[in-house]
Amino acid sequence: MTRVRQATAADASALADLRVRWTQEQRGPVDDPTFVERFDAWFARESAQRVAWLAQIDDAPVGMLNVMLFERMPRPGVPVSRWGYVANVYVVPEHRDSGIGGDLMAAVTDYADETGLVRLVLSPTARSVSLYERVGFTGGHDLLLRPRGAGPRA
């Protein structure tokens, strides 16, 4: 049975292991003896503005995602609002297409609705577009971005 829950500091090693699996899936074996230490420091630093979820089957980590929270600059006469950027959505290959991605997305969209986020934004891969559309995301399938060093200086 799949269980999806918000991750805590105690889950940093499980999230780090999933990140290693994801990286190795894309790039092959990676030898990085400092990764776990760097991941733990990142997780501790980011936890003030980022919420992560962990999917497990029989206590084994099989998926994750996180949402970066942004609070808009206050404006006179306008209530403060927040939005989220969904990132690092990953399910291990042997459990893909089994509903875990949908379960993770349901967790983050429920969180967004319950906490009053005005929107969720993400940058999908071609493979993931159908998942995101099934859970209510619409619009373009790309974000505009400026690569470092591109374009004229203002």
pLDDT tens sequence across 102-133: 999 999 999 999 999 999 999 888 889 899 99
Instruction: Give how far Cα 5 sits from Cα of 55, 109, 141, Å.
Output: 7, 13, 27
The C-alpha atoms of residue 121 and residue 143 are separated, in whole angstroms, by: 9
Q: Which fold has domain 2-134?
A: Aminopeptidase (3.40.630)
Query: Residue 112 has what pLDDT?
Result: 95
- Regarding pTM above 0.85, the answer is yes
Percent of the chain's residues with pLDDT above 90: 82
Query: Residue 1 has what pLDDT?
Result: 87
Mean pLDDT of 143-151: 65
pLDDT tens sequence across 57-86: 999 999 999 999 999 999 999 999 999 999
